[in-house]
Chain A
Amino acid sequence: MPTFFEKRQIVTPGELLAEGDFLAGENTYAEGSKIFASRVGLADSENKKVNVVALKAFYIPEIGDIVIGTVTEVGFSGWNVDIKAPYEANLRASDVLSRPFKPQADELSQVLNAGDLIVAKIAAYDRAHDPQLTVGEPGLGKITRGQIMRVTPTKIPRVIGRKGSMISMIKQETGCQIILGLNGVILVTGKNPEDEELAMVAIQKIEEESHTSGLTDRIAQMLKEEKAKKEENKK
């Protein structure tokens, strides 16, 4: 039962990863007893499961995911939302208004208009239906301030860090509120634009260097240095 890769080696689609008693994990597929890669990424195995951490992928919705999207169209009884996925998401009017929706009385574009950004949760999604969003929970809804940035969706776990170590460190150092959309869209809200800028630079750095180790410490150091520089400039 051999494996044909070193830990964290770059593999390409079609590359034979393992043969024998193995399970096909993320971004891999099984053909008989052989496991092949299906995306460009870093190969890794855990117990008997072979995974490939994709270096580039797109977002596929999953129920319960928090995402950040743009309203693209105001419809008769809800909105269409672009969540940077292959499928367009829907948000129902009754969900936002939290009361029965009356088409005669309610003007939907006054609640949310095309171009508005929202933080939402995927309420329902399967192969046959487009994702359905909900904003009926604390912390969800229209975005009124802050800055938006995009990273590859596969890098979001790296931005969060082990048990949230990375993201809580950035929040603490910059004093910004950060909402990570699992679709790769990130909202940064701080007291002033400089703080937001600093947090965004840090996240950018994480995306670019996501496959290196000891990243949390280096980011922390970078943030401290940048802050010290700013203090000096003020004097």
Chain B
Amino acid sequence: MSENRWSFPDLGLGVGLRTPHYAHILSEKPDIGFFEVLTENYLDTGGRPLYLLDQIAELYPMVMHGVSMSIGSTDPIDFDYLAKVKALAARTGALWISDHICWTGVLGRNTHDLLPLPYTEESLKHSVERIKVVQDYLDRPLVLENPSTYLEFSASDMPEWEWVARMAEEADCGLLFDVNNVYVSAYNHGFDPVEYIDAIPGDRVCQYHLAGHTNKGTHIIDTHNDHVLDPVWELFGHTIRHVGLRATLLEWDADIPPFEIVHQEVLKADDWRRQEVANVA
């Protein structure tokens, strides 16, 4: 167990900032560690979303989480997009910038899905080169989230966890470790989630994600539309024993309930965190 190598602070418990909660947050000022903003929601607006974001950023620590960096794509890097990301980070004082280990489109198109990569030497080299370019441009470490995936490519010549660990080491980037995504992918592909967690270099983990999912029987979809399920909480406990305490965020993106319910859900993580602190003591 250790801190992350950049000494990004453990911000405690946070939730994803979502439009239906703006009014509650500004009027009630809930006691919460931080908010994570969906980067793309604020890049092209000068209206109400940005006006409210500015106010919330005055009150709480912020981190940014994007869905369009397309770090694994074979299309050229979009520097116009990166310029806007960098400007938003400066505006909000975001402590770190995260995105996903995925690609979202090629040939100039964007499917707006987090599409899976084959876990090959070729895709690893390609992604590492791009991460380095992005980090140089942003002038800060990029933090990347392990994906939830619904298929495996036969071309993969290493397990996902090995690819992710090597990517982080070779690109010298951070990891946003999504515990629910590990559970979802483990279910879909039949691997042991604990083996995945144990292979992750803890000093590169800057943040955790937790979320609900939907079990379709044959596979699980990462829907972010419900409470975190017990097996995911168990994996979260294992993760903090292996990695340590990090800023922990609950994502709830569909069928969004009132803020208090989302807040109560992430507060459950406190029991696991306290248990870990007690074990260490």
Q: Do A and B bind each other?
A: no
